[in-house]
Amino acid sequence: MKRLIREPLLHFLVLGALLFGLYGWLNREGFKAPNEIVVSRGQVVNLSAQFERISHRGPTQQELEGLIDNWVREEILYREGLAMNLDRDDPVVRRRIQQKVEFIVDSAAPEALTSEELQRWLDEHADSYRIEPSYVLRQVYFEPARHGERLEHDIATARQALDSGKSHEADATMLPAAMKGAAAEIARTFGNDFEDALRTLPVGGWRGPIKSGFGLHLVELTQRQEGRRASLAEVRTDVERDLLHARAQQANAAFYEKLRANYTVRIEAGNVLAAAPAG
């Protein structure tokens, strides 16, 4: 019984029944007189509030009357459109109604998640939350076209100078001479090949040349934090968001399957596939 009470689908059905009953009570006169349009006090307040959100002031009496006239005009045209079946076979209308129903289902109050449930989700999807490697490095850039046949010689000369503690001026570039960041950030800056090389590059001392998407580099890697599995404390917010989303999708699918069981679907496609031109 407790599990049934906590079922999101039950919450949705009860809420839908209450809303339907409330709508019928508030609009009981409308059922008796379908051509009567009642602009309730609540609707007037809502129109006034919408105006104030946009204009940052309340409407004047004339403006409010105009808002009410526009709402009545919209309601009349909407009802006439329904009477003319203009809502039928309209993909935009169909999609909008579908989205509203899904929104109602998805907006059901989510069940509080326990730490045990979050940890189990993290264990089952550990790779999705893995902490990536990070690096601290310096680099000296060489543009191959600029050095031509002297490229290897110039790199070796620069390496010798750097190893002896001397500075060496890099070729002109927008790339940072020093950088601290996670693997993804390094890859965005220098390219995937460069970041891949850092994963096995010895820490300390100048190494290289290492190839990037821009040219060649001598690199001094001063620190590397290896990639590892994340603890729940580090990624709890992400795990909670993803688990709630997964459960909402499951509830949505279950709700649809229960609705689907009430319908018989007959597809009168004939021999459409056979008649379709080969693509």
CATH number of the domain at 184, please.
3.10.50.40
Distance, in Å, from the CA atom of 177 to the CA atom of 226, rounded to the nearest integer, reads: 22
Distance, in Å, from the CA atom of 21 to the CA atom of 28, rounded to the nearest integer, reads: 10
pLDDT at 32 over 50: no
- Same domain (yes/no): 207, 73: no
Structure tokens at 109: 């109050």
- Same domain (yes/no): 245, 122: yes
**Residue 12: which pLDDT band, with cuts at 50, 70 and 90?**
low
- Same domain (yes/no): 259, 220: no
pLDDT tens profile 126-157: 989 999 999 999 999 999 888 988 999 999 98
- Same domain (yes/no): 124, 243: yes
- Same domain (yes/no): 26, 97: yes
- Same domain (yes/no): 22, 100: yes
Residue 131, beta-bridge partner list: 228
Q: Which residue in this structure is represented by tokens 């006239």?
A: 69
Query: Out of 19-28, 29-38, 61-70, 119-128, which region has the weakest mean confidence (pLDDT)?
Result: 19-28
Answer whether 211's CB lies under 8 Å from 168's CB.
no
Distance, in Å, from the CA atom of 178 to the CA atom of 164, rounded to the nearest integer, reads: 19
Domain limits for position 172? 132-225
Answer whether 95's CB lies under 8 Å from 66's CB.
no
pLDDT tens profile 224-252: 999 899 999 999 999 999 998 898 888 88
Three-class secondary structure of residue 7 per DSSP:
coil
Q: Which residue in this structure is represented by tokens 């949505």?
A: 252
- Same domain (yes/no): 165, 68: no
Number of domains within the chain = 3
Answer whether 223's CB lies under 8 Å from 136's CB.
yes
**φ, ψ for residue 215 (rounded to 5)?**
165, -140
CB atoms within 10 A of CB 134: 18
